[in-house]
Amino acid sequence: MKILWSPSEQQIEQSNLKRFMDYLSHEYGLQFNNYQELWQWSVKDISKFWDIFLHYSGIQFTGQYSEVVSGKMPHAKWFEGIQLNYAEHVFSFETSHRPAILFQSETSPLRAISWAELHQKTASLAEYLRSIGVQKGDTICGYLPNIPEAVIAFLATASIGAMWSSASPDFGGGSVLERFGQIAPKVLISVNSYSYGGKVFDRSTVVANLQENLPSLQQTISIDYMSIGNTLPNTVDWNATVSNCNSVLTFEPLSFDFPLYILYSSGTTGIPKPIVHGHGGILLEHKKYLLFHNDVKENENYFWFSTTGWMMWNFSISVLFSGATLVLYDGSPGYPNMDTLWQLVSETPVHHFGTSAAFIHACMKEQVRPRVNYTFEHLRSIGSTGSPLSPEGFDWIYEQVNPEVWLASISGGTDVCTAFVGGNPISPVYEGEIQCIGLGVDLQAWDENGTPLHDEIGEMVITQPTPSMPVFFWNDPDFERYKASYFEEYPNNWRHGDWVKLTATGGLVIAGRSDATLNRGGIRIGTAEIYRAVEALEFVKDSLIIHLEDKDFMPLFVVTKDGLELDDSQKQIIKKVLRETYSPRHVPDQIIQVSEIPYTISGKKLELPVKKLIQGKPFEKAVNIGAVRNPQSLEFFRNFH
Mean of pLDDT over the chain: 94
Instruction: Give me the half-sphere count of Cα atoms (radius 13 Å) on the Cβ side of residue 18.
Output: 12
Tell me if 381 sits within 8 A of 352, measured CB to CB. Answer: yes
Mean pLDDT of 215-222: 97
Whether the predicted pLDDT of 227 surpasses 90: no
Between 174 and 473, name the one with better pLDDT.
473
Q: Which of 579-583, 584-588, 633-637 has the highest mean pLDDT?
A: 633-637
Q: What's the sign of the alpha-carbon dihedral 58, 62, 66, 70?
A: negative
The mean per-residue pLDDT over the stretch 415-430 comes to: 97
Mean pLDDT of 54-66: 97
Give percent of the chain with pLDDT exceeding 90.
83
Q: What is the pLDDT of residues 356-413, one digit of tens each?
A: 988 998 899 899 999 999 999 999 999 999 878 889 999 999 999 999 999 999 999 8
pLDDT per residue as tens digits for the range 287-325: 999 999 999 999 999 999 999 999 999 999 999 999 999
Q: With b meaning 16 or more CB within 10 Å and e meaning fewer, what string describes 101-129? A: bbbbbbeeeeeebebebbbbbbbbbbbbb
The pLDDT score that the predictor gives to residue 152 is 98
Quick one: pLDDT at residue 416?
97
Q: Band the pLDDT of 269: cuts 50, 70, 90.
A: low
Distance from CA of residue 43 to its chain's centroid? 24
Q: What is the pLDDT of residue 579?
A: 86
Q: pTM for the whole thing?
A: 0.89
Question: In this structure, which amino acid lies at residue 478?
Answer: D
Residue 549 CA to residue 551 CA, distance in Å, equals 5
pLDDT computed for residue 373 by the predictor:
94
> In angstroms, rounded to a whole number, what is the distance separating the alpha carbons of residues 409 and 384?
5
- Please check the confidence at residue 31 and state whether its pLDDT lies above 60: yes
Name the band, by pLDDT with cuts 50, 70 and 90, for residue 250.
Answer: very high
- Give the per-residue pLDDT at 521: 65
- According to the model, what pLDDT value does residue 153 have? 98
pLDDT given for residue 150 in this prediction: 98
Q: How confident is the model over 173-189, as a mean pLDDT?
A: 93
Question: Can you give the pLDDT at residue 175?
Answer: 80
